[in-house]
Every structure is written in structure tokens, then in C-alpha cells.
Amino acid sequence: MKVLNTPLPGVIIIEPRLFGDKRGFFLESYSATRYREAGLDVEFVQDNHSRSSHHVLRGLHFQLRHPQGKLVRVSRGSVFDVVADVRTGSPTFGQWFGVELNDDNARQLYIPPGYAHGFQVLSDVADFEYKCTDYYHPEDEGGVAWNDPGLGIEWPCPEQAIVSDKDQRWGPLQALTDEQLPPYLL
């Protein structure tokens, strides 16, 4: 597998080895030993799978007292995946990074705890799978508006975004206090 750094500290793209022929393909989506050797030495405690239709935009989400690291991938379809640094005190606070994840490139993205995360579906349907380093606590969830002009995320189809009522209620990053954001931990 190949590991690529991004402009955000700790956020990495993983390109697993894909073995394919006329029958299809095989890839190893996770191996604790191999990932640890590549520098991703974390313990995952929960796996999630969501299915979304074209233009659905989920996010930007984070957990405050129980921040989750996430290893995300798309097993069917295509998404534009976004990570935003919302960790108070971070040198890259307010910066974001986006990458296309799809079932052709088989890329994975690791998002360390404390970052906000979201994605927009580019295909008719997308199956989005992710491993988490902590359990989901609904009472602990926070968020930032997906269309926050201060972040300036360049979504591929913002005018066609289908966003949940909950995600529509998130405000801009600059309106959140330090107590409402995850801390930057060295």
C-alpha cells in the first residue's frame, strides 16, 4: 500500500494494493499490522456504513469530548470527501482538504480525532464505509455549516446539495467558542 500526506497534519490518503483481472479485483481494506507499519497505529472500535443518493451532502461533523479518528472509504460509487481542521489552537485551524474517493481508485482517507468531516455524493448512489477509534455519542456531536464562507470549501455541486435538516442548522466555524470545539493535542 502507498501512504500520501495531505496539507493537514495527520490526515493521510492510503492507496491499498489492488489485485485485478477479468474476474474482478481483490484488495485488503484493513490489516492492523500493515497499517501500523505504515504509521497508522490506532485502535478501531466501531465500523459504520452509510448509503446515500446523488448530490447528498453529509457534514461537517465532529465529536467534542469523544473525538473519533476515522478511516473512510467508498465501496460503491464516488464521493468528494472533506476534512476541516476545527481544533482550537491548531496551526492549521480553519483550513480544509478535499479528495475524491471512489470504487475505482479504492483510496482510503484517515482523519485523526478532532477534525470535522463531511462528503458529497458524485455518483447515483454511494456506499460509504468507515472505521472509528471511538464510539458515536449523539449527545456529543458538533458541526460546522457545510457552506461556511469562512471555510470556503469548494464542493463540486453546491447548488444541488441535498442536506439534512440537522446539517442545515450548523453555524459557521467562527461563531463557535473554544468550549464548543475539540482541542488541538500535540
Percent of the chain residues topping a pLDDT of 90 = 93
Three-class DSSP category at 69: coil
pLDDT category of residue 186 using cuts at 50, 70 and 90:
low
Residue 30 inside a domain? The answer is no
Residue 74 inside a domain? The answer is yes
Residue 22 inside a domain? The answer is no
Residue 29 inside a domain? The answer is no
Q: Chain-wide mean pLDDT for the chain?
A: 96
Point out the catalytic residue in the list 35, 110, 115, 130. Answer: 130
Contact 120/55 with Cβ under 8 angstroms? yes
Q: Is 55 a catalytic residue?
A: no
The reported pLDDT for the residue numbered 137 is 95
Strand extents, DSSP E, the chain: 2-5, 12-15, 18-21, 24-27, 46-53, 57-63, 70-76, 78-85, 96-102, 108-111, 115-121, 125-132, 141-143
Residue 157 inside a domain? The answer is yes
**Which domain, by its residues, includes 142?**
1-16+38-178
Residue 31 inside a domain? The answer is no
Point out the catalytic residue in the list 61, 110, 115, 117. Answer: 61
Mean pLDDT over 131-156 rounds to 97
Closest CA to 10 of 133, 119, 122: 133
Q: Is 130 a catalytic residue?
A: yes
Residue 63 inside a domain? The answer is yes
Give me the number of domains the chain comprises: 1
Residue 117 inside a domain? The answer is yes
Q: What is the pLDDT of residues 104-114, one digit of tens each?
A: 999 999 999 99
Q: What is the pLDDT of residues 50-106, one digit of tens each?
A: 999 999 999 999 999 999 999 999 999 999 999 999 999 999 999 999 999 999 999
- CATH number, position 102: 2.60.120.10
